[in-house]
Amino acid sequence: MQRDGATTSLWQHNVSDHNAGGATLPGTVDVLIVGGGITGLATALLLQQSGKQCLVAEAHTLCYGTTGGTTAHLNTFFDTTYDMVESDFGEEGARLLHTAARSALDLVKRNIAEFGIDCGHSDRDGYVYAQTEKQEQQLDKTFQSSVNAGAEVEYTDTIPVPLPFRKAIVYRRQAQFHPTRYVLALAKAFESLGGRIVQGCRVQDFESEGDLLHVNTSFTRITARWLIWATHIPPGINLLHFRNAPYRSYAIAAKLSDEAAYPEGLAYDLYDPYHYYRTQEVDGERYLIAGGEDHKTAHETNTEGCFAKLEAHVRNHFPVAEVAFRWSSQYFEPSDGLPYIGHLPGNPDNVLVATGYSGNGMTYSHIAAMTLSDLIVKGESGYAKLLAPGRVKPVAGFMDFVKENADVVAQFVGKRLKASTLKELADLAPGEGRLVKYEGTSIALYKDAGGKLYALNPVCTHAKCVVDWNSAERSWDCPCHGARYDVNGDVLTGPARKNLEPIDLEELDS
C-alpha cells in the first residue's frame, strides 16, 4: 500500500491498495467527497446509507495521506484538553465535544459490527500520567474538566507502562484498531451500497451554477450538488490555511523480547510534545507502538534524529528486540484548539470541509462524518456551531508564525546556472537534499543513490514560502501551510495544487 512518504508504516504492511475497478465515472452526483482517507470514507458511507449518491475522488490511492501514517488511538479526550475547551468554548462546549467524541467511537463500533470488519478493534482504557509537580497540577485540572464534560475518568494507582509517575488518571472505554484495514473495509461497504470511488484523480477547482457545482478533476468534469474537501487541509488559498499550522510527528512499531512488557492499555505522558504507547496485534504478531517528537513542519533539519530520539526513549523503558517499522506523518494544529468542520468560508453554501484535527483525527473524522452528513441530509447538526470553520477565535502569535515563514520568500525566476557551479552544487551525499544558494536565490537540490541530481525552484506553489528538505521522508516540505513535494517536485500533500517548478540542469549546463 502506498503512502505520502519514504518510510513504511505498520498499516501499509500486508495491506493491498483498494481496487476500485475501471468503470466510467458518473457525470452527476449528489455529493462529491474529495479525499480517500478516514474522513472521506466515513463520511461517504454515512451519506450513501442516507440515500445520497456519492463519489469519492482520491488523488493517489485510499489511505495515501495521514490515515496511512497514523497511530490509531480512538479517544474521547483530545490534545486540546477539556479545561482548554472549557475556557475558550464554555462548559457547554466541552460537554458537547465529549458527547460528539463518545458518539464517534460508537459509530466506529457500529460500522465494524454492521459490515463485519476485521480490523483488530478493541476497547482499551486510556491512561494519562504526570511525572513532574507541574504536570500533576495540569493533570488535576484536566481531570476535573473531563469529569465536568461527562467523561468516565478516575484517578488510578497503576499505569500499563514501566515509567515512573507521580499521579495518573484513566479514561474508560477508549479504543484502538488497524486504521487502513478499517478504511478499506468502509470503502467496500460504501461500494456495496452503490457508492463510487475513483483513485488517481486530483480534484482541482469548480464553478458554481445555482445549486450545482461543476467540478474540474484530472479525469473529467463532474457535476455535484455538494462538495466536501476531506483532504486533511483544503487546497488553494483559504482563510483556514492561516488558522492551521502543519506539524510532523514520528512513530515506531517495535517487537519486544518479553511478551509481558506489551502494555494492555493506551498511555500518554504530559510532556510537550508528549509520548504515547500502545500495543497492536497484526496477523498474529504483537507490536509496541510508540510516538512523539513532534515539531512544526520544516522547522527541524535533522528529521532522522527525531526517529533516533524516539527509539532511544523507547529502548530506555522497554525491552526492544527489534524496531520493525518507523514512519512519520503530518497533522494540522488549529489555532483555537478545535477542528474546523462545516461550511468552507468564502465558498458557496454547498462546499464543506473538515480539517484541523491535531493528533485526534481517528475520532474527529467520525465527528466530521456525522456533522457533514447531517448538514447535507437534515440541513442542520448539533455540532455545527461549535465546530463551524467560520468562527473567529484568533490566538496571539499564530499569525506571526505564518508571516515569519512567508518573509523568507525568494523567487527563482529565469536564472541560469553556470556549469562551474554544478560541481559545487553536486557536493551532496547520495540520498541527500539541501537548499543551496545560487547568486542570492535558493535552489532545492537532491542527489539520488545513483548520483543523479534533481533541481527545483524551492518556492512553494501554494503561498510562496520556501520549502525545506525532510530527510526522513525524502520530501520537500513547506513550513507555512504544510504542502509537501517529492524529489521530482510532484505534490505529495496539499494545500498546493501545482508541482514545484523543475530546473533542467542539463540545459543549464550549456
- Cβ proximity to ligand FAD: between 329 and 442 the closer is 329
Q: Tell me if 34 contacts ligand FAD by CB under 6 A.
A: yes
- Cβ proximity to ligand FAD: between 442 and 493 the closer is 493
Q: Tell me if 35 contacts ligand FAD by CB under 6 A.
A: yes
User: DSSP character for 16?
Assistant: P
Q: Minimal distance in Å, beta carbon 166 to ligand FAD?
A: 25
Q: Minimal distance in Å, beta carbon 296 to ligand FAD?
A: 13
H runs (alpha helix) in 380-429: 384-387, 398-406, 419-425
- Cβ proximity to ligand FAD: between 467 and 483 the closer is 483
Q: Minimal distance in Å, beta carbon 70 to ligand FAD?
A: 3
Give CA–CA dist 217/228, Å, rounded.
14
Site string for ligand FAD, 363-382 (x = CB under 6 A): x-x-----------------
Cα separations (Å) of 164 from 105, 124, 134, 161? 30, 21, 15, 9
Q: Minimal distance in Å, beta carbon 429 to ligand FAD?
A: 27
Q: Tell me if 38 contacts ligand FAD by CB under 6 A.
A: yes
Evaluate the omega torsion of the peptide bond into residue 273 and state whether it is cis, within 30 degrees of 0. Answer: yes
Give CA–CA dist 393/239, Å, rounded.
13
- Segment near ligand FAD (CB under 6 A); pick from 55-63, 127-135, 342-350, 412-420: 55-63
In residues, how long is the chain? 510
Q: Are 124 and 266 in contact (CB under 8 A)?
A: yes
Site for ligand FAD in 183-212 (CB under 6 A): 202-203
Site string for ligand FAD, 281-310 (x = CB under 6 A): ----------x-------------------
Site string for ligand FAD, 57-86 (x = CB under 6 A): xxxx---xxxx-xxxxx-------------
Q: Are 27 and 42 in contact (CB under 8 A)?
A: no
Region class of 333: left (phi > 0), else alpha (psi between -120 and 50), else beta: beta
- Cβ proximity to ligand FAD: between 67 and 475 the closer is 67
H runs (alpha helix) in 278-381: 303-317, 361-377
Task: Provide the 10 A C-beta neighbour count for residue 462.
Answer: 23
Among 111, 142, 329, 347, binds ligand FAD (CB under 6 A): 329
- Cβ proximity to ligand FAD: between 66 and 142 the closer is 66
- Segment near ligand FAD (CB under 6 A); pick from 100-108, 254-262, 327-335, 454-462: 327-335
**Total of residues contacting ligand FAD (CB under 6 A):** 40
Q: Tell me if 135 contacts ligand FAD by CB under 6 A.
A: no
Among 357, 383, 438, 454, binds ligand FAD (CB under 6 A): 357
State the residue number with the nearest CB to ligand FAD.
Answer: 361
Task: Provide the grid cell at 292.
Answer: 512523539
Give CA–CA dist 438/441, Å, rounded.
5
Q: Is 48 helix (H, G, I), strand (E, B) or coil?
A: helix
Helix axes 38-49, 82-114, angle to 10 degrees: 60
Give CA–CA dist 145/90, Å, rounded.
11
Among 10, 12, 40, 238, binds ligand FAD (CB under 6 A): 40
Among 5, 93, 126, 235, binds ligand FAD (CB under 6 A): 235
CA proximity to 75, closest of 276, 351, 314: 276
Q: Minimal distance in Å, beta carbon 315 to ligand FAD?
A: 19
Going 500 to 506 to 507 to 510, the CA torsion angle's sign is positive
Among 55, 128, 251, 472, binds ligand FAD (CB under 6 A): 251
- Cβ proximity to ligand FAD: between 4 and 83 the closer is 4
Contact residues for 262 (Cβ-Cβ < 8 A; gap 6+): 256, 279, 286, 288
Task: Provide the grid cell at 488.
Answer: 521530482
Among 43, 135, 231, 303, binds ligand FAD (CB under 6 A): 231
Task: Provide the 10 A C-beta neighbour count for residue 453.
Answer: 15
Which spans of this chain sit near ligand FAD (rule: CB under 6 A)?
34-40, 57-60, 64-67, 69-73, 202-203, 230-232, 235, 249, 251, 291, 329-331, 357, 359-363, 365, 494
